[in-house]
Amino acid sequence: MKYVATVRDLSVTYDGRVKALDDVSLKIPIGQIAGLIGPSGSGKTTLIKSIVGQLKLPANKVAVLGLSAGAGQLRERVAYMSQELAVYDDLTVRQNLIYFARIIGLSRLEVKTRVEEILHKVDLSDQKNQLVTDLSGGQKQRVSLAVALLGQPELLVLDEPTVGLDPLLIENLWKLFREITGKGATLIVSSHSMTEAARCDDLVLMHEGKIIAIGSPSELEEKTKSRNIEQAFLKLVRQTNKKEPK
Protein backbone atom coordinates (compact mmCIF):
# COMPACT_ATOMS: atom_id res chain seq x y z
CA MET A 1 0.00 0.00 0.00
CA LYS A 2 1.25 3.49 -0.82
CA TYR A 3 1.09 6.26 1.71
CA VAL A 4 0.57 9.97 1.19
CA ALA A 5 1.91 10.94 4.61
CA THR A 6 4.08 9.19 7.15
CA VAL A 7 4.68 10.44 10.69
CA ARG A 8 7.38 8.80 12.83
CA ASP A 9 7.72 9.16 16.61
CA LEU A 10 6.68 12.79 16.52
CA SER A 11 6.48 14.84 19.70
CA VAL A 12 5.73 18.56 19.55
CA THR A 13 6.09 20.99 22.43
CA TYR A 14 5.18 24.67 22.23
CA ASP A 15 7.25 27.24 24.16
CA GLY A 16 9.12 24.38 25.82
CA ARG A 17 6.10 23.74 28.09
CA VAL A 18 2.92 22.66 26.34
CA LYS A 19 3.19 19.15 24.93
CA ALA A 20 0.77 19.07 21.99
CA LEU A 21 1.85 15.73 20.47
CA ASP A 22 3.40 12.85 22.34
CA ASP A 23 5.30 10.24 20.32
CA VAL A 24 2.85 10.04 17.46
CA SER A 25 3.34 7.66 14.52
CA LEU A 26 0.95 7.00 11.63
CA LYS A 27 0.69 6.33 7.92
CA ILE A 28 -2.09 7.74 5.75
CA PRO A 29 -2.92 5.69 2.63
CA ILE A 30 -3.30 7.38 -0.77
CA GLY A 31 -6.76 8.02 -2.20
CA GLN A 32 -8.71 7.77 1.04
CA ILE A 33 -10.46 10.06 3.46
CA ALA A 34 -8.57 9.94 6.73
CA GLY A 35 -10.28 11.45 9.74
CA LEU A 36 -8.35 12.88 12.66
CA ILE A 37 -10.92 12.58 15.41
CA GLY A 38 -10.77 13.78 18.98
CA PRO A 39 -11.95 16.47 21.36
CA SER A 40 -10.59 20.03 21.39
CA GLY A 41 -7.00 20.11 22.59
CA SER A 42 -6.30 16.51 21.58
CA GLY A 43 -3.54 17.53 19.14
CA LYS A 44 -5.41 17.31 15.83
CA THR A 45 -4.46 20.77 14.62
CA THR A 46 -0.82 20.32 15.64
CA LEU A 47 -0.69 17.03 13.73
CA ILE A 48 -2.28 18.73 10.71
CA LYS A 49 0.17 21.63 10.89
CA SER A 50 3.02 19.11 11.07
CA ILE A 51 1.77 17.37 7.93
CA VAL A 52 1.26 20.57 5.92
CA GLY A 53 4.71 21.80 6.95
CA GLN A 54 3.71 24.77 9.09
CA LEU A 55 5.79 23.62 12.05
CA LYS A 56 9.54 23.56 12.23
CA LEU A 57 10.26 19.91 13.05
CA PRO A 58 13.34 17.69 13.15
CA ALA A 59 14.15 16.21 9.73
CA ASN A 60 12.62 12.84 8.72
CA LYS A 61 9.82 12.99 11.28
CA VAL A 62 7.08 13.76 8.74
CA ALA A 63 7.15 12.76 5.07
CA VAL A 64 4.47 13.90 2.63
CA LEU A 65 4.26 12.60 -0.94
CA GLY A 66 7.79 11.29 -0.57
CA LEU A 67 9.23 14.64 0.53
CA SER A 68 10.00 16.12 3.91
CA ALA A 69 6.95 18.06 5.20
CA GLY A 70 7.29 21.76 4.40
CA ALA A 71 9.41 21.20 1.27
CA GLY A 72 8.87 23.96 -1.30
CA GLN A 73 7.70 21.51 -4.02
CA LEU A 74 4.77 20.44 -1.81
CA ARG A 75 3.17 23.88 -1.88
CA GLU A 76 1.72 23.11 -5.33
CA ARG A 77 0.66 19.58 -4.38
CA VAL A 78 -0.92 20.09 -0.94
CA ALA A 79 -3.85 22.38 -0.11
CA TYR A 80 -4.74 23.31 3.45
CA MET A 81 -7.70 24.91 5.15
CA SER A 82 -7.05 26.01 8.71
CA GLN A 83 -9.60 26.59 11.47
CA GLU A 84 -9.10 30.33 11.07
CA LEU A 85 -11.16 31.72 8.20
CA ALA A 86 -8.01 33.06 6.53
CA VAL A 87 -9.84 34.97 3.80
CA TYR A 88 -10.07 38.73 3.20
CA ASP A 89 -13.31 39.98 4.72
CA ASP A 90 -12.99 43.34 2.95
CA LEU A 91 -13.10 41.65 -0.47
CA THR A 92 -16.06 39.99 -2.14
CA VAL A 93 -16.31 36.20 -2.22
CA ARG A 94 -15.39 36.19 -5.92
CA GLN A 95 -12.46 38.58 -5.47
CA ASN A 96 -11.07 36.30 -2.75
CA LEU A 97 -11.32 33.23 -4.94
CA ILE A 98 -9.81 34.96 -7.98
CA TYR A 99 -6.84 36.20 -5.95
CA PHE A 100 -6.05 32.83 -4.37
CA ALA A 101 -6.60 31.08 -7.73
CA ARG A 102 -3.95 33.33 -9.32
CA ILE A 103 -1.58 32.66 -6.44
CA ILE A 104 -1.83 28.88 -6.86
CA GLY A 105 -0.98 29.41 -10.52
CA LEU A 106 -4.26 29.02 -12.44
CA SER A 107 -4.34 30.84 -15.78
CA ARG A 108 -6.79 33.66 -16.45
CA LEU A 109 -9.08 31.29 -18.36
CA GLU A 110 -8.87 28.54 -15.74
CA VAL A 111 -9.61 31.05 -12.99
CA LYS A 112 -12.89 32.07 -14.56
CA THR A 113 -14.27 28.56 -14.99
CA ARG A 114 -12.82 27.12 -11.78
CA VAL A 115 -14.10 29.95 -9.57
CA GLU A 116 -17.65 29.61 -10.91
CA GLU A 117 -17.49 25.82 -10.53
CA ILE A 118 -16.31 26.01 -6.90
CA LEU A 119 -18.82 28.73 -6.03
CA HIS A 120 -21.56 26.39 -7.22
CA LYS A 121 -20.12 23.43 -5.27
CA VAL A 122 -20.04 25.31 -1.98
CA ASP A 123 -23.41 26.90 -2.73
CA LEU A 124 -22.19 30.50 -2.75
CA SER A 125 -23.05 31.51 -6.32
CA ASP A 126 -25.73 33.92 -5.10
CA GLN A 127 -23.35 35.56 -2.63
CA LYS A 128 -20.34 35.85 -4.96
CA ASN A 129 -20.46 39.64 -5.15
CA GLN A 130 -20.99 40.19 -1.43
CA LEU A 131 -18.20 41.28 0.89
CA VAL A 132 -17.09 38.40 3.10
CA THR A 133 -17.63 40.57 6.18
CA ASP A 134 -21.37 40.71 5.36
CA LEU A 135 -21.77 36.91 5.25
CA SER A 136 -22.96 34.60 8.03
CA GLY A 137 -20.45 32.45 9.94
CA GLY A 138 -21.31 29.33 7.93
CA GLN A 139 -21.00 31.21 4.63
CA LYS A 140 -17.59 32.58 5.65
CA GLN A 141 -16.52 29.04 6.48
CA ARG A 142 -17.56 27.97 2.98
CA VAL A 143 -15.49 30.77 1.39
CA SER A 144 -12.46 29.43 3.25
CA LEU A 145 -13.27 25.89 2.12
CA ALA A 146 -13.75 27.10 -1.46
CA VAL A 147 -10.22 28.53 -1.45
CA ALA A 148 -8.82 25.14 -0.41
CA LEU A 149 -10.75 23.43 -3.20
CA LEU A 150 -9.55 25.78 -5.96
CA GLY A 151 -6.55 23.80 -7.14
CA GLN A 152 -6.36 20.11 -7.83
CA PRO A 153 -4.01 19.06 -5.05
CA GLU A 154 -2.86 15.50 -4.44
CA LEU A 155 -3.44 16.00 -0.74
CA LEU A 156 -6.18 18.18 0.70
CA VAL A 157 -5.99 18.85 4.45
CA LEU A 158 -9.07 20.35 6.07
CA ASP A 159 -9.12 21.35 9.73
CA GLU A 160 -12.74 21.15 10.98
CA PRO A 161 -14.24 22.01 7.57
CA THR A 162 -17.89 21.51 8.45
CA VAL A 163 -18.16 23.40 11.74
CA GLY A 164 -21.22 25.65 11.72
CA LEU A 165 -22.66 24.25 8.50
CA ASP A 166 -26.21 22.92 8.12
CA PRO A 167 -26.78 19.16 7.65
CA LEU A 168 -27.81 19.47 4.00
CA LEU A 169 -24.64 21.34 3.11
CA ILE A 170 -22.52 18.90 5.11
CA GLU A 171 -24.09 16.06 3.12
CA ASN A 172 -23.25 17.83 -0.16
CA LEU A 173 -19.69 18.56 0.96
CA TRP A 174 -19.08 14.93 1.82
CA LYS A 175 -20.28 14.01 -1.69
CA LEU A 176 -17.73 16.51 -2.98
CA PHE A 177 -15.00 15.00 -0.78
CA ARG A 178 -15.83 11.56 -2.24
CA GLU A 179 -15.67 13.04 -5.74
CA ILE A 180 -12.20 14.42 -4.97
CA THR A 181 -10.85 11.13 -3.62
CA GLY A 182 -12.51 9.37 -6.59
CA LYS A 183 -10.08 11.28 -8.78
CA GLY A 184 -7.12 9.92 -6.82
CA ALA A 185 -6.51 12.70 -4.29
CA THR A 186 -6.27 12.06 -0.55
CA LEU A 187 -8.18 13.97 2.09
CA ILE A 188 -7.23 14.46 5.71
CA VAL A 189 -10.16 15.88 7.66
CA SER A 190 -10.11 16.76 11.33
CA SER A 191 -13.28 16.80 13.36
CA HIS A 192 -14.49 16.52 16.92
CA SER A 193 -17.80 15.17 15.63
CA MET A 194 -18.24 11.43 15.88
CA THR A 195 -21.02 11.56 13.26
CA GLU A 196 -18.50 12.91 10.77
CA ALA A 197 -16.02 10.21 11.82
CA ALA A 198 -18.35 7.52 10.50
CA ARG A 199 -18.05 9.00 6.99
CA CYS A 200 -14.26 8.54 6.83
CA ASP A 201 -12.41 5.54 5.36
CA ASP A 202 -9.78 5.52 8.10
CA LEU A 203 -9.79 7.08 11.51
CA VAL A 204 -7.03 8.31 13.74
CA LEU A 205 -8.52 8.72 17.21
CA MET A 206 -6.62 11.23 19.32
CA HIS A 207 -6.69 12.12 23.01
CA GLU A 208 -4.36 14.41 24.97
CA GLY A 209 -1.70 14.52 22.25
CA LYS A 210 -1.63 10.78 21.69
CA ILE A 211 -3.08 8.45 19.10
CA ILE A 212 -5.30 5.99 20.96
CA ALA A 213 -6.44 3.97 17.95
CA ILE A 214 -6.16 3.75 14.17
CA GLY A 215 -8.52 1.84 11.88
CA SER A 216 -11.66 2.03 9.78
CA PRO A 217 -14.88 2.96 11.63
CA SER A 218 -16.15 -0.66 11.44
CA GLU A 219 -12.80 -2.06 12.66
CA LEU A 220 -12.79 0.26 15.66
CA GLU A 221 -16.40 -0.52 16.51
CA GLU A 222 -15.70 -4.23 16.24
CA LYS A 223 -12.49 -4.04 18.25
CA THR A 224 -14.22 -2.25 21.12
CA LYS A 225 -17.51 -4.10 20.75
CA SER A 226 -19.34 -0.79 20.37
CA ARG A 227 -22.43 0.21 18.47
CA ASN A 228 -20.97 3.41 17.10
CA ILE A 229 -17.75 5.44 16.89
CA GLU A 230 -18.67 7.68 19.81
CA GLN A 231 -19.00 4.69 22.10
CA ALA A 232 -15.80 3.17 20.68
CA PHE A 233 -13.94 6.42 21.30
CA LEU A 234 -15.14 6.65 24.91
CA LYS A 235 -14.14 3.05 25.61
CA LEU A 236 -10.70 3.62 24.10
CA VAL A 237 -10.19 6.77 26.18
CA ARG A 238 -11.13 4.89 29.38
CA GLN A 239 -8.75 2.05 28.48
CA THR A 240 -5.92 4.53 27.85
CA ASN A 241 -6.59 6.34 31.14
CA LYS A 242 -6.52 3.01 33.04
CA LYS A 243 -3.16 2.13 31.47
CA GLU A 244 -1.67 5.49 32.29
CA PRO A 245 -3.03 6.65 35.66
CA LYS A 246 -2.50 10.35 36.27
d(CA 225, CA 208): 23
Q: 9, 23 in Cβ contact below 8 A?
A: yes
Give the shortest CB-76-to-other proteins separation in angstroms: 5
Residues whose CB is less than 8 angstroms from the CB of residue 141 and which lie 6 or more positions away in sequence, other chains included: 85, 161, 163, 164, 165
Judged by DSSP in three states, 5 sits in strand
Is 87 a residue that touches other proteins (CB under 8 A)? yes
Residues whose CB is less than 8 angstroms from the CB of residue 1 and which lie 6 or more positions away in sequence, other chains included: 29, 30
Q: Site for other proteins (CB under 8 A): how many residues? A: 35
The residue type of 238 is: R
Packing angle between helix 137-149 and helix 167-182, nearest 10 degrees?
0
**Which positions from 112 to 151 touch other proteins by CB under 8 A, shown as an x/- string?**
-------------------x---------------x----
- In the range 195-234, which residues lie near other proteins by CB under 8 A? none
Q: Residue 132: which region, alpha, beta or left (left: phi > 0; alpha: psi -120 to 50)? A: alpha
State which residue, 3 or 99, has the beta carbon closest to other proteins: 99
Contact residue for other proteins among 1, 2, 15, 246 (CB under 8 A): 15
- The window from 88-96, 184-192, 199-207, 222-230 that contacts other proteins (CB under 8 A) reads 88-96
Give the shortest CB-122-to-other proteins separation in angstroms: 17
d(CA 167, CA 68): 37
State which residue, 54 or 228, has the beta carbon closest to other proteins: 54
* Residues that bind other proteins in the complex, under the rule CB under 8 A: 12-16, 49, 52-57, 70, 75-76, 78, 80, 82, 84-91, 95, 99-100, 102-105, 131, 147
